[in-house]
Structure 1
Amino acid sequence: MSSTALNESKTPLRPLDADGLKSLGAKAKLDPAKVNTLKAHTVCEGIFRMMTYCRDLSGHLIDEPPTLLGENNAPNPSEAVLASLGSCLLVGIHANATSRGITLYKLEANLEGDINISSVWGVGDTSEKRLGFTDIRVTFDIDGDCSREELEELVQWADKWSPVANTLRNPVSTSVALA
């Protein structure tokens, strides 16, 4: 917990539009069963360089490290999953801090995930084993004008309502097919 005197010399994070956040929440409560479909288009540019396009944004690069025969230009797909989880949790913490009138000065997440890569996409050891992450650990470094208990509550609330955390925790119906 930071004292008010210490916080006066700190720069708050760029604030969210509190009224816009309230309006967004109210709109969502009007149609709680509404489902959006998110889309992405990924193009292999060669080697393991993948460019993914979402909405009308510029491409998002995914690559592999040299140890996995990539060029080390960007995070690999599994690292992108960790980045997505961290980003989603931070969005939730920031939104809920705003909603509760808490000013944040620092908001960071550190993530690590354990993954067995010996199957090498099905061309290595293909004996029966669990694929994907077996454990993911997330720790936060947060400074705000509230108590540690309030920060812990923000973290737990964001984790409970994070779409990405819940996607990782819960089975998801996934279909993969040739177009």
Structure 2
Amino acid sequence: MSDLTPKHQDGEALEPIDKDKLSELAQKNIDNPEGGRKKIRTHTEADGHFRNYTKVRDLDPVLVSEPYPLLGDNTAPNPTEIAQAGLAACISVGIQAIATHRGVELTKIDIDIESDIDISPTWGVGDIEGEKRPGVSDVRVTVDLDGDADRETLQKIVDDAVEWSPVVNTYTRPANLTAELA
């Protein structure tokens, strides 16, 4: 058992999602595609020293900060790390949903992500000459997946989860973003 996942014992099936409710949700969105379009709202407030608290739904605030080398207090993941955690979690959710839909029982989903980032522009006050691209440029995802299916089936589940992940698509397809002063 991992300290990271205390509710899961190695080799045991992951706690399943409700297959019938998954089918109902899928059918509801097939029948009414507009109903599947949602708004996601968050609210972030700065607390100084690069600490930011973000409120999501009615959950406890999420702390986001920077490590010491980036002038933060190293009290929480930085924004890029949070985005990467969201990417991994989104792929994991997709894997579990697709496996459930296809009748595959999974015993393990472990995802490691490594990405390359150029921080030399330093939030627009550093090296901003030339073709600098702030942010992540290359992302490498490794999925360790076990279940009651052969390797080819598991690979297809991973491939499909990546293809249909909203967060993967946010990374790989430009979103329309606007910003305005309130």
CA contact (8 A) 2:11 2:108 kept: no
Q: Counterpart of 2:34 in 1: which secondary structure? A: coil
Which amino acid is the alignment partner of residue 151 of structure 2?
R
Tell me what 2:68 maps to.
66
Which amino acid is the alignment partner of residue 164 of structure 1?
V
Deviation at 1:33, TM superposition (A): 3.1
Which amino acid is the alignment partner of residue 11 of structure 2?
K
Aligned residues between the structures:
171
2:135 matches 1:136? no
Specify which structure has the bigger relative contact order, considering alpha-carbon pairs within 8 angstroms and separated by 6 or more residues. 1
What pairs up with 1:139-150 in 2 under 5 angstroms?
Answer: 139-150=142-153
Deviation at 1:65, TM superposition (A): 0.5
2:77 matches 1:81? no
Deviation at 1:23, TM superposition (A): 0.8
CA RMSD of aligned residues (A): 1.1
Deviation at 1:116, TM superposition (A): 0.4
Which amino acid is the alignment partner of residue 12 of structure 2?
T
Aligned mates of 1:133, 1:118 — CA distance in 2: 12
Tell me what 2:169 maps to.
166
Aligned mates of 2:73, 2:103 — CA distance in 1: 45
Which amino acid is the alignment partner of residue 11 of structure 1?
E
2:104 matches 1:102? yes
Unaligned ranges ≥5, structure 2: 1-9
Deviation at 1:19, TM superposition (A): 1.1
CA contact (8 A) 2:53 2:64 kept: yes
Which amino acid is the alignment partner of residue 32 of structure 2?
D
Aligned mates of 1:134, 1:12 — CA distance in 2: 35
Which amino acid is the alignment partner of residue 158 of structure 2?
V
Aligned mates of 1:10, 1:142 — CA distance in 2: 11
Which amino acid is the alignment partner of residue 14 of structure 1?
E
Cα deviation digits, residues 60-103 of structure 1 (max 9, x gap): 11110101011111110011111111110000000011111111
Unaligned ranges ≥5, structure 1: 1-8
Among the aligned pairs, what percent are the same residue?
Answer: 45
Aligned mates of 1:146, 1:37 — CA distance in 2: 36
**Which 4+ residue blocks in structure 1 deviate beyond 3 angstroms?**
none
Which one of the candidate residues 155, 160, 175 is aligned to 1:157?
A: 160
CA contact (8 A) 2:87 2:167 kept: yes
Tell me what 1:39 maps to.
41
Tell me what 1:24 maps to.
25
Tell me what 1:15 maps to.
16
